[in-house]
Structure 1
Amino acid sequence: MSAKLAAGAKVDAAPQTLRKRCRHPDLDLTIWERQAKESLQIKMSACDVTYKELSRRLGEIGIDENPDQLNRKVNRGKFSAAFYLTCLAALGVTTIDVPRYRRAGQADVKT
């Protein structure tokens, strides 16, 4: 999603829009961004895939990102769910573990 500026330029408004939709005051999306970043890095390491190799694999499915761009994007932790899932598919990952959401100060509940 993007918002138009007076000069016709566009700026990405998704993070702000998502934060506005989050009604819980304790919800900090940076925790989830860090989880996604670390999850992707762990999957890359487990598959013994470098950013150069991931770039090549993404190129095979029509996504052109050079290794330096990938490195910066992943290390920032600011990427879409579609990008995340595409990278996992390129790595050959078929399952992921999703951490349980806990409110600040809430103890883990075992199920």
Structure 2
Amino acid sequence: MTQERHAAQQTELVEQVLGLTQQIAFAASLYDWQKAAGLAQQRSPLLMSIQAEQTPATLHVIRRIQALDAALLESAQESRDELEAEYRTATSSSKAVRQYHQIAQL
């Protein structure tokens, strides 16, 4: 395989990874974490296929992917924190209702 063909295949692979990353970002923006996780699993083996040596243009695309990943991670962490807070509030409310019913039965 020629070096140019290998570079073209790597460019195509990186573009495919970018496309999947953008789909993951869209799913995350809709809080569709199951879809995002499925796309991430689909993307994972492709990421592992990216070679270390890349053209400058492909490296630029890889940096875009890394920036999207960083933003996705931050969004996922924020969503997790919000869900944890909602869970704590719901648990506390449930406990208060249970105590109210116990006292009302006395």
TM-score by length of 1: 0.29
Greater radius of gyration (CA):
2
TM-score by length of 2: 0.30
Structure with greater helix percent = 2
Structure with greater strand percent = 1
**Structure with more contact order per residue of length (Cα contacts < 8 Å, sep ≥ 6):** 2
